[in-house]
Amino acid sequence: MSGIYIHIPFCKKACHYCNFHFSTNQNSKLSFIKAVCQELKLRSYEYSTKEIQTIYFGGGTPTVLEVSELSIILDVIYDIYNVSINPEVTLEANPDDLDSDTIIALSKTRINRLSIGIQSFHDSDLVSMNRAHDSEEAKQCLKIAASYFDNITIDLIYGMPAMTVELWSHNLQTAFSFGVKHLSCYAMTVEPQTVLEHFIKKGCHPPMDDELAAQHFKVLIEETSQQGLIHYETCSFGSPGYFSKHNTSYWLGKPYLGVGPSAHSFDGKKRSWNIANNSKYIKSIEASVLPSESEILSIENRFNEYVMTGLRTIWGVSLQKIETEYGIKIKNQLLENAKKLVASDFLVIEDQHLKITTIGKFLSDGIASELFLV
């Protein structure tokens, strides 16, 4: 299973918490589209023998592009790559871009999954985040989208100091009322060099409250379970048959091709990444030069990444895979390092897989770091 990720580096506004690569200047949009199509052609040899089962438009805000422009990129992928008969094709979208005409037009393309960045159904939260939509736009777009797309996921953010447990529960119940079959829920984090970090340092915004975020996470697990959603990854909750195939391939270490400025690629042993600068990316591609760097991952890095991602999922870390790929010595070291965590009920061994327990889920990344090879 292989996937293609296309990074669309444009946004209408800069969200205060975001540290992804994007620009609010869209003057280079047409040149960018041509460059993405050219990069897809230049790199097609890398995936000449692989079947593409997932395609993902991320960003930034992919719905800054017109539906016809998204279709141009999809047509190039279908023309030169071996795309499976029924791939998962996901488009990240913001509510303010999804009016009824746009949703209908998208439903007539190859896109079959929408990932909608709701973040909150409360206007006070949205203003604090500097989002471009309001709560009514969020509800209206979901109502229309549900009539044309069966596979919809929405993003929600929790852990903000002003968000009470009751407000967070209301966000979840509002999402459930639209019959959404997948949620991606993230604790608000303070990323370096963001507006949010600046506001907190200046005392204009209260710092994050880890205890409150933990309470929100507990409510999240309880209420999604009541809805029959499976907590299959730390931040991901889905009905059976509606797990994100694209993101799951990341967590399981499958190869993927990343196209566009700042996009990353992985072939199983080597990771590469494109320059995070729109104009330099475009100029380089126009000269038929790939603007990327790469590194061969060490055994330690590959092991640590697998442990980190594996423990975030319901599938856990396969002890057989560890032994096969890294040797019995490293497997035994992993088990030795895991003993205290198993005794503390943060980890459990089931069917030769090391898995995180319910009480360990909120701390999964920290737990994984205790098992890393140094």
Instruction: Render pLDDT for 336-373 as a digit per residue (tens, 0 to 9).
Output: 999 999 999 999 999 999 999 988 888 888 999 999 99
Rounded Cα distance, 153 and 156, in Å: 10
- With 70 as the cut, is the pLDDT of residue 1 above it? no
Q: How far apart are the first and last CA of the chain?
A: 30
Q: Which amino acid is at 173?
A: Q
Span of 100-109, 155-164, 201-210, 215-224 with lowest mean pLDDT = 201-210
Among 217, 238, 84, which Cα is nearest to 159's? 217
Rounded Cα distance, 171 and 209, in Å: 19
Rounded Cα distance, 356 and 346, in Å: 6
Rounded Cα distance, 46 and 32, in Å: 21
Beta strands (DSSP E) in 236-370 are 236-238, 256-259, 264-266, 270-274, 292-296, 317-318, 347-350, 353-356
Paired tokens of 92: 């990240």
Rounded Cα distance, 6 and 257, in Å: 8
Q: Is 286 helix (H, G, I), strand (E, B) or coil?
A: helix
Question: Span 282-291, mean pLDDT?
Answer: 96
- With 80 as the cut, is the pLDDT of residue 204 above it? no
Q: Which amino acid is at 106?
A: L
pTM summary value: 0.94
Burial, 101: exposed, middle or buried (Cβ in 10 Å; 0-12, 13-18, 19+)?
Answer: exposed
Using pLDDT thresholds of 50, 70 and 90, give the confidence band for residue 203. Answer: confident
Domains of the chain: 2-251 (3.20.20.70), 315-369 (no CATH)
Pairing between β-strand 353-356 and β-strand 317-318 as defined by DSSP bridges? antiparallel
Question: Span 8-37, mean pLDDT?
Answer: 87
Read off the pLDDT of residues 98-155 as tens digits, 9 standing for 90 and up: 999 999 999 999 999 999 999 999 999 999 989 999 999 999 999 999 999 999 999 9
Pairing between β-strand 182-187 and β-strand 151-158 as defined by DSSP bridges? parallel
